[in-house]
Copies of this chain bind each other. A is one copy, B any other.
Amino acid sequence: MNDRGARGASPTINDVARLAGVSKKTVSRVINRSPLLNDATRERIEAVIAELGYVPNRQARSLALRRNFVLGLIYDNPNAQMVLNFQQGVLDTIKDTEFALVIHPVDRRSPTLFEDIRRFVEQQRHYGVMILPPLSEDDQFADLFRELGCNYVRMGSAELDEPAHLVQSNDRQAVREAIDYLVAQGHRRIGLIAGPSGFRSAHERRQGWIDSLVAHGLPHDETMVAEGNYTFETGQSAGEALLGRGEPFTAIFASNDVMAAGAIHAAHHRGLDVPKDISIVGFDDTVIAATIWPPLTTVRWPIRTMAQSAARKLIHPETAGKEQALFPAELILRASTEPPETER
């Protein structure tokens, strides 16, 4: 019936069945590692599979099983290294499985954003999707996934959802520890370059800064804060603003690495030496942190580990609730911080 020639079509389960002299169901059992199978039969079929170079057809399998072994990744993130690390982590988990990763970068300013995402999920019929901040912070997308019957995991810096649908970093605690470290070094006046107010992570990081200052009885008010939107340029202008305000700071915490890099520029521009005249701390530990001068003290986020976990939660929904949901960050010390002059 199926008379494949040398026309390049790849062998199917029927070819294997015919050559091995068994039914296709039996071949199917081999593919799916069914336990009830005569060893001799299995070996014979495996030999034919190897000889033919047979690879089961994913589309057909998906159709018959009524599920698609594809994970989706949705993001709109200015931080390339973060996104790539996340992709890498997902791949770590799905390596040697039949899963594939389909990516879907979007533009969060697009008026059709919501419909874009809906179409993506409807069309691909993923096994599950992962969504990165800041999009992940918006409940309407989670609602959408639920409405479409699509499993999902959100990455975020707060308890956005149940553990089965969340991989969370503790930004607030991590920043608090970073500021604690500056205080321990003798810093007393520590400025904040905050992230954009729409971002949950920006809020959490600001809270961490406040937590530490309050705990140490140090001042914190709006004059010590300048807001940026996670880009280099806004970090620079926020830095300029802070450095131009009244009583000088001995340290500045920037809510991400790129803004910290901008703040360093601003300091240089004013003839200040980092860290001699002012210490600067970032957040993310992107490649920039180790690349700029001076190398940046920053908070490292275990993104890849979080991504591995996110993928596992989607692949094994039955145990997803029991997997870790909180992933602590750690402070990476580099040359952009040192005790203030008064302490040296």
Contacts and interface: CB of A to CB of B under 8 A. Distances in A.
A27 to B, nearest CB: 17
A286 to B, nearest CB: 8
A104 B62 CA distance: 20
Given A91-B105, A291-B232, A59 B55 contact: no
A47 interface: no
A293 interface: yes
A88 interface: yes
Contact of A105 (B55, B88, B105, B292): B88
A182 interface: no
Contact of A59 (B68, B101, B122): B68
B63 A91 contact: no
A37 interface: no
B105 A102 contact: no
A272 interface: no
B101 A57 contact: no
Interface string A75-111: 0000011011001100100000010111111000000
Interface stretch (A191-199, A202-210, A260-268): A260-268
A287 to B, nearest CB: 7
Copies in the complex: 2
Given A81-B80, A84-B83, A103-B87, A57 B125 contact: yes
Contacts of A328: none
A48 interface: no
Contacts of A265: 293
A288 interface: yes
B91 A80 contact: no
Contacts of A8: 149
Nearest to A290: B232
A58 B232 contact: no
A179 interface: no
Contacts of A70: 102
A254 interface: no
Nearest to A257: B291
Contacts of A57: 63, 125
A125 to B, nearest CB: 7
Contacts of A185: none
Contact of A55 (B58, B98, B123, B290): B123
7 contacts: A55-B123, A57-B63, A57-B125, A87-B103, A87-B105, A91-B105, A261-B292
Interface of A: 8, 10, 55, 57-60, 62-63, 68, 70, 80-81, 83-84, 87-88, 91, 98, 100-105, 122-125, 149, 232, 258, 261, 264-265, 268, 287-288, 290-293
| Nearest 10 pairs of A and B residues by beta carbon | A59-B62, A80-B84, A80-B80, A59-B63, A80-B81, A55-B122, A261-B291, A100-B102, A59-B59, A8-B149
